[in-house]
C-alpha cells in the first residue's frame, strides 16, 4: 500500500517538522532581537550592533564572564582528572558503591545537590561562600559526566590489545601509559569539554553555592531577566550560545561517539 | 583482566578508585547525610540551625517537629501533589511530541540519522536560562502570539488573557527544556526494532494502526520508561521555570525548598522538604523500574 505509507510519511514529517520548529524558533528569536534597534523585544525596527557595545562596556558583566571562565577552567580540569579515574575504576573493577556515588549526582534533581552543599559548606566546613565553594560544587556534579564518557570509550576498546601488551612484557603502568591512555584520550578531552560547558552553563547549583560576593554569567542573566527583558540579555545569550556551540562541535570532532554516548 | 590479587594490582586499584571516591564521599555523601540530620534539628534564632547542644530552656537537640509541621498544614502536601501533576503532564506532552520525531529519525536512511539527532541535541546545548528567557519574549504581552490570541478572543467578546506568568507558560517551558531527554532514549529504542516484524504483521493483514499499537508501541515501552524518568525527575525538582515564568500561585516543591534555604532561612524545614523530594524521586524511579521490569524480553 504505497499511498497509505506515503500519507503516513507525510503525517510523521509534519509532526517532526513542527517539533523541530518548536525547538528552534524561540532561540532564533532571541538571536534576531539581539540585533534589533529597539528596547523592546516586540517588533523589528532595524539592525544594530548597539547591544553588543553595551555589553562590552558593562563592567560587571565582564567581571562575571571572567569568573565563569575561571570557575569552568579549574573545575573542569579537576573533574576531568577525577572523572577519568572514576571511569576507569568503574569499567575495570566494577565497585558498586563507586558506580552509585558517581552516577547519583547526575541523576538527581540539581536543587538537592545545591541545598545539601549549601548546608555542608556553611554548617560543617564553616566556609564563606564564593569562588571556592562554587568550584567544589561544579567538580562534584561534573565527575559523573566525565566518568560516563570515559567509560563509554573504554567499553569500545579491544581488550586483546592490552593482553598483547602484557604478553610482550609491559608493566600495568606501561600498558596504561602507551596503549590504554592514548586510545581513551579523545574521550577524556571530550569529557573535559563537556565538564567545561556544564560549569559555564550551570545555574541551579551555582545559585545555592555562590553566596553574595561572587557572580557568574548565568547568575547575572538570572538577575537581569528577573527585573526586565532587555536586548542586552539577548546579546549575551547569543554570545554564550556561540561559545557552547563551538565547544560542542570541537568535542564531537575529537570523539564522534560522545554525543551518541549521551543518548 | 590482569591478576587483581597481587599487591601491586591491589595498590593500583585503590590509587585509581580512591581519589574520586573520597572526593564524592566528602562532597556528595556527607552533605546528603548532613541534610538528613538537619531535618531533625530546630531552626536557629537567626536562620540556619539551632545548636545541637545549648543551655536548657532554649530549643536544641533533635526533633520530629519539621515532619509534624509538614503534615499539619495541607498546603505542603498540596504543593507536592501539584508538582507531581506538573511533572506528569510535562512527561506526557513530551512523549506525544517526541514519539513521531523519534519514529521518523529511526526510520530515516542511516546517513541522515546522526544529523537529525544532532539537531535535537543542539538547542539543548544552549544555556538553560536562555531557553526560559526565550519564552518570556515569545509569551510577552506585546508579542505576536499574545496579540493574535487576544485579538481572536476579543472577537468573541472574551477578556484578554495573560500568557506570561501563568501555569501555561510554566508548562510550555517545562516541555521545551526537557523534550530532548524524551526524544533520545525513544530513538535509541526505536532504532533497534527489526523491520521484519512490521513486514510480518503486514503480511498477516494488520493495518498501519494495528501494526503501530500491537508491534511498535509495546516494543518501545522500555524507551518510553527511560525517557519518562529522565523528564519526570528534573521537572519534579525544578524551581527556576516557575520562578521566572510562573505567577505567584504557581509555586512548586523546588520553589518551596529554595524559599526555606534562601528566603525565610528555615533550614530544618528546607531539609525536610528536600528529603521528601528525594523520597518522591526514589519512589518514581522504583515504579518506573517495576513497570519496565515487566516488559517483554527486549532489553
More confident residue, B19 or A155: B19
Cβ–Cβ below 8 Å for A259 and B117: yes
B63 half-sphere exposure, CB direction, 13 A CA radius: 17
In a domain, residue B231? The reply is: yes
Give the pLDDT mean for B248-262. 89
| Cell numbers placing B293 | 521490569
ipTM (interface predicted TM): 0.85
> Is the four-CA dihedral A50, A56, A60, A63 of positive or negative sign?
positive
Q: How many domains does chain B fold into?
A: 1
Task: Output DSSP code: residue B45.
Answer: B
In a domain, residue B236? The reply is: yes
Range of the domain at B189: 60-292
Q: How many angstroms away from the CA of B226 is the closest CA of chain A? A: 11
Cβ–Cβ below 8 Å for B179 and A19: yes
Compute the count of residue pairs across chains A and B with CB atoms less than 8 Å apart: 243
pLDDT of residue A6: 67
| Three-state SS letters, chain B | CCCCCCHHHHHHHHHHHHHHHHHHHHHHHHHHHHHHHHCCCCECECEEECCCCCCCCCCCCCCCHHHHHHHHCHHHHHHHHHHHHHHHHHHHHHHHHHHHHHHHHHCCCHHHHHHHHHHHHHHHHCCHHHHHHHHHHHCCCCCHHHHHHHHHHHHCCCCCCCCCCCHHHHHHHHHHHHHHHHHHHHHHHHHCCCHHHHHHHHHCCCCHHHHHHHHHHHHCHHHHHHHHHHHHHHHHHCCHHHHHHCCCCCCCHHHHHHHHHHHCCEHHHHHHHHHHHHHHHHHHHHHHHHHHHCCCCCC
Residue B266 bridge partners (DSSP):
B48
Q: How many angstroms away from the CA of A120 is the closest CA of chain B? A: 5
Which residues contact residue B108 at a Cβ distance below 8 angstroms, ignoring those fewer than 6 apart? B116
pLDDT of residue A83: 95
Helices A2-33/B167-191 angle, 10° precision:
130
pLDDT of residue B46: 67
In a domain, residue B165? The reply is: yes
In a domain, residue B83? The reply is: yes
Chain A residues near residue B199 by CB distance under 8 angstroms: none
When CB atoms are compared, the residue of B140, B180, B277 closest to A109 is: B277
| Cell numbers placing B51 | 545548636
pLDDT of residue A77: 96
pLDDT at B47 over 80: no
Q: Residue A26: enclosing H or E segment and its boundaries? A: helix A2-33
Nearest CA in chain A to B137: A41
> Is the four-CA dihedral A229, A42, B145, B98 of positive or negative sign?
negative
Place of cell 579523545: A186
pLDDT of residue A1: 41
pLDDT of residue B52: 65
pLDDT of chain A along its 263 residues, tens only? Answer: 444 556 667 888 888 899 999 999 999 988 988 888 887 777 777 888 888 888 888 888 889 999 999 999 999 999 999 999 999 998 888 888 888 999 889 888 999 999 999 999 988 888 888 899 999 999 999 999 999 888 888 887 777 777 787 788 777 778 788 888 888 888 898 889 889 988 988 999 999 999 888 999 999 999 988 887 788 888 988 998 888 888 888 877 877 665 554 43
pLDDT of residue B57: 60
Q: Which domains does chain A have, with CATH numbers?
A: 53-262 (1.10.3720.10)
Residue A124 bridge partners (DSSP):
none
Nearest CA in chain B to A12: B100
pLDDT band, very low/low/confident/very high, at B208 (cuts 50, 70, 90): confident
Cβ–Cβ below 8 Å for B257 and A105: no
Chain B residues near residue A222 by CB distance under 8 angstroms: 129, 240, 244
User: Does A117 reach chain B within 8 Å, measured CB to CB?
Assistant: yes
In a domain, residue B23? The reply is: no
Cβ–Cβ below 8 Å for A115 and B128: no
Cβ–Cβ below 8 Å for A115 and B270: yes
User: Does A259 reach chain B within 8 Å, measured CB to CB?
Assistant: yes
Quote the distance between the C-alpha of residue A135 and its chain's center: 14
Cβ–Cβ below 8 Å for B130 and A29: no
Cβ–Cβ below 8 Å for A240 and B34: no
pTM (two decimals): 0.87
Interface test with A, best of B36, B66, B114, B137 (most A CBs within 10 A): B137
In a domain, residue B41? The reply is: no
CA nearest neighbour of B257 among B246, B267, B248: B267
pLDDT of residue B297: 44
- Provide the phi-psi class of B205: left if phi over 0, else alpha when psi is between -120 and 50, else beta: left
Helices A131-155/B7-24 angle, 10° precision:
140
pLDDT of residue A163: 78
pLDDT of residue A51: 85
Task: Output DSSP code: residue B215.
Answer: I
Chain A residues near residue B131 by CB distance under 8 angstroms: 26-27
Q: How many angstroms away from the CA of B51 is the closest CA of chain A? A: 10
Which residues contact residue A159 at a Cβ distance below 8 angstroms, ignoring those fewer than 6 apart? none
Give the pLDDT mean for B52-81. 78
Cα–Cα distance, B148 to A82 (Å, whole number): 53
When CB atoms are compared, the residue of A42, A101, A203 closest to B28 is: A101
Cβ–Cβ below 8 Å for A16 and B262: no
What is the CATH number for B128?
1.10.3720.10
CA nearest neighbour of A121 among A140, A108, A148, A95: A140
B217 half-sphere exposure, CB direction, 13 A CA radius: 9
Cβ–Cβ below 8 Å for B136 and A229: yes
Nearest CA in chain B to A111: B237
Amino acid at each position: 500500500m504505497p499511498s497509505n505509507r506515503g500519507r503516513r510519511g507525510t503525517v510523521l514529517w509534519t509532526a517532526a517538522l513542527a517539533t523541530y520548529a518548536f525547538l528552534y524558533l524561540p532561540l532564533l528569536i532571541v538571536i534576531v532581537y539581539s540585533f534589533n534597534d529597539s528596547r523592546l523585544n516586540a517588533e523589528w525596527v532595524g539592525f544594530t550592533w548597539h547591544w553588543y557595545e553595551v555589553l562590552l562596556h558593562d563592567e560587571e558583566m565582564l567581571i562575571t564572564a571572567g569568573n565563569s571562565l575561571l570557575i569552568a577552567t579549574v573545575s573542569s580540569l579537576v573533574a576531568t582528572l577525577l572523572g577519568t579515574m572514576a571511569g576507569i575504576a568503574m569499567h575495570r573493577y566494577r565497585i558498586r558503591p563507586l558506580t552509585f556515588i558517581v552516577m547519583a549526582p547526575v541523576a538527581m534533581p540539581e536543587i538537592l545537590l545545591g541545598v545539601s552543599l549549601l548546608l555542608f559548606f556553611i554548617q560543617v566546613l564553616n566556609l564563606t561562600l564564593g569562588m571556592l565553594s562554587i568550584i567544589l560544587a561544579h567538580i562534584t556534579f561534573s565527575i559523573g559526566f566525565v566518568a560516563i564518557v570515559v567509560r563509554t570509550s573504554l567499553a569500545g576498546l579491544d581488550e586483546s590489545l592490552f593482553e598483547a601488551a602484557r604478553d610482550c612484557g609491559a608493566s600495568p603502568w606501561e600498558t596504561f601509559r602507551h596503549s590504554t591512555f592514548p586510545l581513551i584520550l579523545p574521550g577524556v578531552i571530550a569529557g573535559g569539554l563537556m565538564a567545561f560547558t556544564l560549569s559555564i552553563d550551570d545555574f541551579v547549583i551555582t545559585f545555592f553555592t555562590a553566596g553574595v560576593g561572587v557572580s557568574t554569567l548565568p547568575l547575572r542573566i538570572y538577575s537581569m531577566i528577573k527585573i526586565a527583558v532587555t536586548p542586552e540579555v539577548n546579546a549575551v545569550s547569543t554570545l554564550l550560545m556561540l561559545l557552547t556551540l563551538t565547544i560542542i562541535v570541537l568535542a564531537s570532532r575529537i570523539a564522534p561517539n560522545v554525543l551518541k554516548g549521551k543518548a | 583482566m590482569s591478576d587483581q590479587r597481587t599487591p601491586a594490582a591491589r595498590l593500583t586499584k585503590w590509587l585509581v578508585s580512591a581519589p574520586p571516591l573520597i572526593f564524592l564521599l566528602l562532597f556528595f555523601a556527607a552533605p546528603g547525610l548532613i541534610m538528613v540530620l538537619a531535618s531533625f534539628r530546630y531552626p536557629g534564632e537567626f536562620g540556619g540551625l539551632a545548636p545541637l547542644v545549648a543551655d536548657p530552656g532554649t530549643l536544641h537537640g533533635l526533633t520530629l517537629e519539621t515532619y509534624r509541621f509538614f503534615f499539619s498544614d495541607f498546603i505542603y502536601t498540596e504543593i507536592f501533589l501539584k508538582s507531581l501533576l506538573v511533572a506528569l503532564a510535562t512527561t506526557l506532552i513530551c512523549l506525544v511530541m517526541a514519539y513521531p520525531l523519534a519514529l521518523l529519525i529511526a526510520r530515516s536512511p542511516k546517513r541522515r540519522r546522526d544529523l537529525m539527532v544532532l539537531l535535537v541535541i543542539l538547542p539543548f546545548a544552549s544555556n538553560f536560562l536562555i531557553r526560559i528567557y526565550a519564552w518570556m519574549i515569545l509569551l510577552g504581552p506585546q508579542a505576536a502570539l499574545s496579540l493574535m490570541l487576544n485579538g481572536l478572543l476579543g472577537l468573541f467578546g472574551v477578556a484578554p488573557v495573560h500568557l506570561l506568568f501563568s501555569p501555561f507558560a510554566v508548562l510550555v517551558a517545562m516541555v521545551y527544556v526537557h523534550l530532548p531527554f524524551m526524544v533520545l532514549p525513544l530513538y535509541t529504542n526505536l532504532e533497534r526494532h527489526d523491520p521484519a516484524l512490521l513486514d510480518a504483521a503486514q503480511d498477516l493483514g494488520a493495518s498501519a494502526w494495528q501494526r503501530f499499537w500491537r508491534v511498535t508501541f509495546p516494543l518501545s515501552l522500555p524507551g518510553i520508561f527511560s525517557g519518562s524518568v529522565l523528564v519526570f525527575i528534573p521537572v519534579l525538582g525544578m524551581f527556576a521555570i516557575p520562578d521566572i515564568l510562573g505567577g505567584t500561585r504557581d509555586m512548586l516543591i523546588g520553589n518551596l525548598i529554595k524559599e526555606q534555604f534562601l528566603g525565610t532561612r528555615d533550614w530544618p524545614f528546607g531539609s525536610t522538604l528536600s528529603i521528601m523530594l528525594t523520597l518522591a524521586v526514589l519512589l518514581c524511579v522504583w515504579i518506573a523500574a517495576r513497570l519496565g521490569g515487566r516488559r517483554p524480553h527486549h532489553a
